[in-house]
A and B are shown apart, each in its own frame.
Chain A
């Protein structure tokens, strides 16, 4: 479905490209041995290299390079066996050396693509232009003291991957789908935790509008948007702003803007004239980064199964619907949980339980799959009791709730509460007879042709048996006597 902005003189098309900064998961920083972990007291994860002391030199962290290559492979992108690091020069108090080491002309990863799926089930390919490695800056804190600013260098030098998309995105929904899919891939790969609230994934959003069939018009860049929802909102309001400018006879200036979610508007940060001249040049402290094809192959061989492939496999192997498969692979942990539950069991029953009662329970209790009160094995154990006829589906729901509360296994609960399904036909026959005896009027109605009352009798028998009757046997017994 095409997203168009209705202007005074007709519809406008939206053109969006995203630059995502994804913090690399690694023990230490991109060019120093200091810890790259989040949190920590200010300025406790800082080496002399990070602080830009005289004579200190950067040394590339092999693991960060591996993470970038894994990500490139996950984005089905070209891996450049030779890449280079450049210096991006600018002064700021939280940039200790006065330059950021980045990859300007020769990034480690070239063209790739991400397939996104929209609400209507349609899919689109969004091109990836490049991925490069660069250092994060430190953090300036201006709100700690009336007169002074404080600097925390814990983050200075931590590795970032900047992932640049082609201007292929045509609606806020596509931008959201792109970011969710990218985040899913990064999380599967274990190369970025994708946590936008903590700032480990941030997006710069390039927005322009045009009439159908036109070449691109001037774009604005909205910097550092830190949630998917805000990205979608920012695109929407920025596009409207640009349409209004064009339609009132003005022209959009190429500039950097900020999104203010409180007012739902974008504001100019700096114009092209004030733009920094970053004076990029190759960093003479670092040789070109050369990696071996064999090493890349080895990383490729050890990549985890990615969401698209896993979803297809779930459909093929487990025979579950595409939609269900999509829900289950949204997070690696969920997919793993499901596979544990489904192993050696009815995969469709497993999918129904995981997506249905289990997800609902997590939602209700505010838990995540990682700290779920019911383990995959415990849920599987309960399914086993359904399958072998120990309990029926209705009892299972009660057992599940009990598991949620007590943490006991299904078998323990069934045993303790005597919930074992009654398959003894003698007991069932007796219960059936008792119900018929108690309801002679209904029996007469049934016999005179009111077939619908069959369900009433089933319900009454089950009630009499405290829900423990085997539904199939109850049906059979009723049919026989009726």
Chain B
């Protein structure tokens, strides 16, 4: 049995039936990391020893019989944006190269409480700013997928949760945490042929997760099946008094929602997502998804989200504005990198120049600009108004439909080096994912098929606020219909 091929759902059963031990399960993934991480660079920090220790403890618990917590012995990758107690947490930045937090984020604490085993901290774009995982101070991540007939070209895994997506796709972890600010879970999931959900804003606590844009950041799971995502989100989600934007609503049984019948579900197809210049194969995948949902008993409804076209522009005002303020704390005074200077201002300048990469600096500059006196009204205030209109768009649509179906990204994974000269081209990758972030609604990417070049394409299901259940139901119906069994060229069992 290839332990690295198992789903989390299957491994839960296998561990409880003692078909294999947690040590074997975790060991198989640790071995895969040892073999492949040098190439993929999916992990910034690998915690093999701690993981194997945790696995042995998990085995003791499993051997005791009774009710072992749901994730006991399940090896997961943790995006290196979640603070982990005693384990270096870098945000993929020179600024935090040596930073070891003395605290555990709420989301990872929830997973640990449910028995999960962390095999390492996954790579990402620096401070989660990027769509290709090429801005990490610890080097780019390689997408484990290859174009058909082209084993050489290195493709990007998407971003910012590119390390998590690559690790899960290559079977280095059974699942991983991601964070999504404008598509950072969904777009890399789509590029790497896995599932990933950004839950409703407020569903997962942000406490202990390094902030990029506070009003948009939301943690979520990435895994190879919709059901595995449901299992992980069940553990990650929940109200937290330490996060004022966390919402006190009961977390329903997500796993049960995955098998739910879609009979009578209304699925909206937003006209505005048919953007000019969208590759035909994306269009085809979308039409196929529509057909699958119709076959599953859904009613398909054309809907309009007229403010969609302002989504990206609005996002690139709001997110940098918040980031420019959130990242002010990295000043070399209390923790993290410090580059000495003759004066306080020189210390700030030297520290931030050396500590931040080009993309982070670009966004801090943009954000500082849009908040400046004289520009605030024209940019930030107007963007907030448009954001409200985008939110209203979704509210209106959800008056008539239960979920929306769109492509996740306008293209399959592209090659390292492509789209890199022009930041705006790079930002366009998020055109389909940003609106749901702006509205705070849950959205999931699920693999739907392969492009002509043999690369995975994802479809996105968007739901009402706090109705992740309908999203899981529709996504798992798509998953069943797609029967996506393709695997990347680079993966654990390939020697």
Contact = CB atoms under 8 A, between A and B. Distances in A.
Chain B associates with chain A:
yes
B333 interface: yes
Interface in A76-130: 87, 89, 91-93, 96-99
Interface string A254-292: 000000000000000000000001011100111100000
B344 A98 contact: no
B145 interface: no
B89 interface: yes
A367 B373 CA distance: 53
Interface string B372-385: 11001000100000
A54 interface: yes
Interface in A37-89: 48, 51-60, 87, 89
A279 B206 contact: no
A149 B345 CA distance: 13
Contacts of A299: none
Given A54-B89, A57-B243, A287-B244, A281 B209 contact: no
Given A51-B334, A54-B99, A57-B242, A284 B213 contact: yes
A481 B75 CA distance: 114
B333 A93 contact: yes
B207 A281 contact: no
Contacts of A237: none
A327 interface: no
Candidate in A58, A59, A96, A284 with the most chain B CB atoms within 10 angstroms: A284
Contacts of B344: 92-93, 149
B96 A57 contact: no
A59 B335 CA distance: 22
Q: Is the interface of A mostly helix, strand, loop or mixed?
A: loop
Of the four ranges (under 10, 10 to 19, 20 to 34, 35 or more), the interface on chain B belongs to: 35 or more
B245 A279 contact: no
A48 B102 CA distance: 9
A96 B328 CA distance: 9
A52 B326 CA distance: 10
A434 interface: no
A93 B321 CA distance: 22
Contacts of B105: 55
B371 interface: yes
Contact of B207 (A55, A98, A149, A280): A55
A334 to B, nearest CB: 42
A59 B99 CA distance: 24
Contact of B329 (A60, A97, A287): A97
B388 interface: no
A43 B64 CA distance: 46
B210 A54 contact: yes
A87 B326 CA distance: 10
B32 interface: no
Give the size category of A's interface with B: 20 to 34
B244 A53 contact: no
Given A97-B328, A99-B325, A279-B325, A59 B244 contact: yes
B329 A96 contact: yes
A287 B321 contact: no
A245 interface: no
A151 interface: yes
The winner among A54, A99, A149 for most chain B CB atoms within 10 A is A54
Question: Which residue of B322, B325, B371, B373 has the most chain A CB atoms within 10 A of its CB atom?
Answer: B325
Interface string B85-102: 000010100001001011
Interface in B317-361: 321-322, 324-325, 328-329, 331, 333-335, 344-345, 348
17 contacts: A51-B335, A52-B329, A54-B89, A54-B101, A55-B82, A55-B103, A56-B207, A57-B242, A58-B244, A59-B242, A59-B243, A96-B334, A151-B333, A279-B371, A279-B376, A284-B213, A285-B211
Given A89-B324, A284-B322, 4 more contacts: A55-B105, A97-B328, A279-B373, A281-B376
Interface of A: 48, 51-60, 87, 89, 91-93, 96-99, 149, 151, 277, 279-281, 284-287
| A-B CB proximity, top 10 nearest | A98-B328, A284-B215, A279-B371, A284-B214, A52-B329, A55-B208, A54-B210, A97-B329, A277-B373, A55-B83
